[in-house]
Amino acid sequence: MLAVLRRVGQALLTLAAAGALVFGMLAVTPGDPAQRVLQARGILDPTPVAVSAVRAELRLDDPLPVRFGQWAGDAVRGDLGVSWRTGRPVGTEFSDRLPATLRLTVTALGLAVAAALLLGTVAALGAGRWPDTVARGIALGALVVPSFVLGVVLIDVLVVRIGLGRVIADGTWSTVFLPAAVLALGSVATWSRILRTSLLEAGSAAHLRVAAARGAGPVRRLLVHQLPNAIAPFLTMVGLGTAALIGGAAVVESVFTWPGVGRFTVEAINARDMPVIVGFTLVALVTYVLASLVIDLLCAWIDPRLRSPR
């Protein structure tokens, strides 16, 4: 219990520090936010009175510590401010698009985990032989090709030329596979190599020689003895990669016109809509910290050696 509380405390401290950094990014943005808000509302030449009214509305004249306290309190309650571009609450904009993004990222996560487990296991079983070479080549190819390039190529080849799927994804399950596969590829490359290395390290343990002497075959030794000891580093990478999937979703959603939070954030970047940009950054940070906490606790549950204070 003490170890769990310690990890939860570390996660809360990390979230507090991340929140301070995000607020700092919002505070040091060049230009007058009030003028950008008015311009987003269609007032290209705002009067000083209008600018002063918006500054009062956004509480921009309050001292910085007061503004941080107000912003942090609002963020804890789920209030991420109002989009300068649409005039709607950022939380509402995100919640409208969250189902599509969750559909994409959950599918990509499932594909990445399944493919990484398969490639990593095959590479470990055939270490130094052709299965290892093939798995390494697939992982390397997935790692070096940018997701936006691969997305454009797949749309041109599979959708436009062959006629599989649709050019414009509508956010439903029927169009999720292609963008999810593109989003998952980068993670597959890293996770499969981590799993291969961990399996080979676990394979050098003395008790595996005993298992082999008792007649256990290579597949049984790998699945029953090596995999439980090698899964912790793999799960750690999966946890850390979850936030990376969310960040990568912004590019993939834009390429496939997927109606999710990432595409909305890219549009906000083009419009310099800071509340949306900061809100997306904060959500990604919270997801990263929570995923790391869950994976940390899960690894400690799987491997009791990780439960002692570090």
Q: Are residues 20 and 139 in the same domain?
A: no
Does a structural domain hold residue 87? no
Residue 88 included in any domain: no
Domain-ending residue, one of 10, 42, 76: 76
Rounded mean pLDDT of 169-179?
Answer: 81
Which of the four pLDDT bands, split at 50, 70 and 90, describes residue 93? very high
Task: Compute the Cα dihedral for 111, 115, 117, 118 and give only its sign.
Answer: positive
Same domain, 68 and 183: no
Domain of 257 in residue numbering reads as 94-307
Among 135, 305, 116, which Cα is nearest to 229's? Answer: 305
**Predicted confidence (pLDDT) at residue 218 exceeds the cutoff of 70:** no
pLDDT number for residue 215: 64
Between 145 and 195, the more confident residue is 195
User: What local confidence, expressed as pLDDT, does residue 110 receive?
Assistant: 92
Q: How does residue 103 score in pLDDT terms, banded at 50, 70 and 90?
A: very high
- Over residues 155-167, the mean pLDDT reads 72
Same domain for 136 and 49: no
Among 43, 76, 109, residue at a domain's last position = 76
Q: What share of the chain in percent tops pLDDT 70?
A: 85
State pLDDT tens for residues 39-55: 777 777 878 888 888 88
146 and 289 part of one domain:
yes
Helices (H), 214-260: 218-220, 227-255
- For 22, counting Cβ atoms within 10 Å of its Cβ (0-12 exposed, 13-18 middle, 19+ buried), the class is buried
Residue 182 vs residues 164, 202, 233, 274: alpha-carbon distances, Å: 15, 31, 24, 28
Q: Give domain status of residue 89, yes or no.
A: no
Q: How many domains does the chain have?
A: 2
Mean pLDDT on 129-155: 78
pLDDT digits (tens, 9 = 90+) for 244-300: 787 778 888 888 888 999 899 998 888 878 888 888 888 888 888 888 788 777 777
Q: Considering the domain boundaries, does residue 199 fall inside one?
A: yes
Tell whether 111 and 243 lie within a shared domain: yes
216 and 71 in a common domain: no
**Residue 8 clears pLDDT 50, i.e. is over it:** yes
Computed over every residue of the chain, the mean pLDDT equals 80
**Residue 26, pLDDT score:** 72
Is residue 137's pLDDT more than 70?
yes
Q: State whether 59 and 104 are in the same domain.
A: no
Q: Residue 112 class from Cβ within 10 Å (0-12 exposed, 13-18 middle, 19+ buried)?
A: buried
Residues 289, 147, single domain; the answer is yes
What backbone phi and psi angles, to 5 degrees, belong to 119?
-65, -45
Is this prediction's pTM over 0.85? no
Q: Work out the pLDDT band at 231, boundaries 50, 70, 90.
A: confident
198 shares its domain with 257: yes
Query: Can you give the pLDDT at residue 310?
Result: 47
Residue 45 and residue 115 in one domain: no
Residue 209 pLDDT: 64
> Is residue 39 included in any domain, yes or no?
yes
Q: Check whether 107 has a pLDDT greater than 90.
A: yes
